[in-house]
């Protein structure tokens, strides 16, 4: 399979590139970025040509698949191009700068019957299977996921992600969207509604929030998602706390590697498992290309993304920064 990577100055590029390089049946045919100097080191690592224009690259190489990354403000245009060219792809969330764009590209992909995956990679966590295996309705779900401070985006030379004009929002859109999606997975078919929200930028004083709390209800459950750019930690290290209550069990994660399970009769057990997003990108890459080859749907698609982004946008509308 001949694969291209678009927008390789994005800090998630290694999450897609490295698994591809380990797959004997995958060839990285080309990489692109508007800043060619950022694309060339990735091209050297992959042993392929670097392009400044993804349109030129796709016309020249006619790839079988694209991993698409970009500034949030550029994502919908990129998605429309790939859909128009009938190039199957996976696009880093949130795939758009707002809910209208997210819904538009989802509709286009559906109309074209095109494979378009979104890496809501926490869907691969054993957490999901563990909770679902109890065969009990979820009553409460609370996810706290606080990432590193905004200086990491300066260090990675992706300042666009901390400017609302180019990113569309702060950690709620960038990180919290994973947990909006996760609430939908744990409450299948539920019509989730945002019932409360709080945004603050008092730490970084930018035009995006650096901390957000969102309350939701639906499907007989209450959900809370808290996220931020507040933790003095390296990239991909988080202040993480999950709590999920079902009919007869209480699940708690206080770190990235252990899930505690307590039954109503107070029997406690623990299971070792990975619980953050970064661990599951290699699984996503392998599984996504396998699903494409086998004619199956992606684990999450643009319609799933549009639903999650709509919840984020409802929260922003409820508590705008002033």
The pTM of this model reads 0.96
pLDDT of amino acid 105: 98
263 and 129 housed in the same domain: yes
The stretches in the chain having pLDDT less than 70 are 322
H/E stretch holding 139 reads: strand 138-148
- The count of structural domains within the chain is 2
pLDDT of amino acid 95: 98
166 and 100 housed in the same domain: no
CATH number for 145: 3.30.360.10
257 and 132 housed in the same domain: yes
34 and 162 housed in the same domain: no
pLDDT of amino acid 321: 80
67 and 137 housed in the same domain: no
288 and 312 housed in the same domain: no
43 and 86 housed in the same domain: yes
pLDDT of amino acid 236: 83
What are the CA-CA distances from residue 128 to residues 63, 189, 214, 273, 295 (Å)?
A: 34, 16, 21, 11, 24
pLDDT of amino acid 322: 59
128 and 198 housed in the same domain: yes
150 and 228 housed in the same domain: yes
15 and 71 housed in the same domain: yes
CATH number for 17: 3.40.50.720
286 and 248 housed in the same domain: no
Q: Which tokens belong to 265?
A: 């009769």
105 and 136 housed in the same domain: no
Residue with tokens 């990235």: 256
Domain span holding position 81: 2-120+282-299
pLDDT of amino acid 235: 81
pLDDT of amino acid 69: 98
């Amino acid at each position: 399979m001949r694969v291209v990577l678009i927008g390789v100055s994005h800090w998630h590029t290694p999450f897609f590139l490295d698994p591809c390089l380990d797959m004997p049946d995958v060839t990285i045919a080309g990489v692109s970025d508007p800043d060619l100097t950022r694309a060339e080191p990735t091209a050297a690592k992959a042993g392929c040509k670097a392009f400044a224009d993804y349109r030129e690259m796709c016309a020249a190489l006619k790839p079988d698949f694209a991993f698409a990354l970009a500034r949030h403000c550029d994502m919908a245009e990129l998605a429309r191009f790939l859909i128009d060219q009938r190039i199957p792809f996976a696009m880093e969330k949130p795939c758009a700068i707002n809910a209208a764009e997210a819904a538009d590209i989802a509709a286009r992909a559906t109309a074209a019957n095109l494979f378009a995956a979104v890496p809501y990679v926490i869907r691969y966590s054993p957490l999901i299977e563990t909770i679902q295996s109890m065969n009990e309705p979820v009553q409460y779900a609370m996810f706290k996921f606080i990432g590193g401070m905004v200086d990491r985006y300066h260090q990675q030379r992706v300042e666009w992600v901390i400017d609302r004009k180019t990113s569309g929002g702060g950690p709620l859109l960038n990180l919290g969207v994973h947990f909006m999606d996760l609430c939908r997975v744990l409450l299948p078919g539920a019509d989730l509604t945002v019932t409360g929200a709080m945004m603050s930028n008092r730490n970084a004083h930018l035009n995006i929030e650096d901390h957000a709390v969102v309350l939701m209800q639906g499907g007989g459950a209450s959900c809370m998602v808290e996220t931020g750019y507040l933790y003095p930690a390296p990239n991909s290290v988080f202040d993480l706390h999950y709590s999920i209550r079902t009919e007869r069990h209480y699940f708690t994660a206080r770190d990235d590697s252990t899930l505690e399970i307590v039954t109503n009769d107070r029997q406690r057990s623990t299971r070792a498992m990975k619980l953050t997003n970064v661990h599951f990108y290699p699984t996503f890459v392998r599984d996504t290309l396998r699903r494409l080859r086998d004619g199956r749907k992606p684990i999450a698609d643009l319609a799933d993304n549009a639903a999650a982004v709509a919840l984020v946008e409802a929260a922003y509308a409820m508590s705008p920064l002033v």
